[in-house]
């Protein structure tokens, strides 16, 4: 399969609800509350169980890295496409914005601490940023 270098402007979807990143011991059961929202990412490695979900799902007493905002590429994306996340990460790095990335079968997502600055930087780079529809923010 030949790679396709991504050169087009992208359509990015922003999710206005704040998200959080949580870490549990690797053998932990996935908390039931973690799977209740419209977007949850769960990754288990030999070192940890990592959960990313909306802050509103998390019990207040639960330790979490809060204050992240989710953005995603409008997909589905072609598996042979090259440079999509590099383009986005470079644009946001130039704006001094750290990100966390997540890939799914259909598309790529990232979390940033400052949604307004990320939106501005991405639009200035020629990308379109739209707000998630209500069907994308609830299940």
Query: Dihedral sign, CA of 38, 44, 48, 49?
Result: positive
Residue pair 109/73 in contact (Cβ under 8 Å)? The answer is yes
Residue pair 122/129 in contact (Cβ under 8 Å)? The answer is yes
Chain mean position to CA 52? 9
pLDDT digits (tens, 9 = 90+) for 43-61: 999 999 999 999 999 999 9
Domain locations in the chain?
Answer: 4-133
Cα 70 from Cα 100, distance rounded (Å): 9
Identify the DSSP state of 47.
S
Give the per-residue pLDDT at 108.
84
> Domain 4-133 - what CATH class?
alpha beta
- Does residue 6 surpass a pLDDT of 70? no
Give the per-residue pLDDT at 139.
42
- Does residue 7 surpass a pLDDT of 80? no
Residue pair 71/12 in contact (Cβ under 8 Å)? The answer is yes
pLDDT digits (tens, 9 = 90+) for 60-111: 999 999 999 999 887 766 666 666 777 888 999 999 999 999 988 888 899 9
- Does residue 17 surpass a pLDDT of 90? yes
Residue pair 14/120 in contact (Cβ under 8 Å)? The answer is no
pTM, 2 dp: 0.84
pLDDT-derived band at 5, boundaries 50, 70, 90: very low
pLDDT digits (tens, 9 = 90+) for 110-136: 999 999 999 999 999 999 999 998 665
């Amino acid at each position: 399969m030949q790679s396709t270098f991504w050169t087009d402007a992208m359509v990015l979807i922003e999710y206005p609800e704040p998200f959080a990143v949580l870490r549990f011991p690797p053998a932990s059961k996935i908390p039931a509350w973690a799977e209740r929202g419209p977007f949850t990412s769960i990754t288990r490695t030999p070192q940890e169980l990592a959960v990313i979900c909306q802050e509103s799902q998390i019990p207040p007493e639960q330790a979490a890295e809060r204050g992240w905002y989710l953005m995603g590429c409008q997909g589905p994306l072609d598996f042979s496409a090259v440079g999509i996340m590099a383009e986005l990460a470079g644009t946001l790095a130039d704006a001094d914005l750290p990100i966390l990335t997540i890939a799914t079968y259909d598309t790529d997502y990232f979390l940033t601490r400052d949604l307004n600055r990320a939106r501005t930087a991405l639009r200035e780079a020629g990308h379109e940023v739209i707000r998630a529809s209500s069907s994308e923010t609830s299940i």
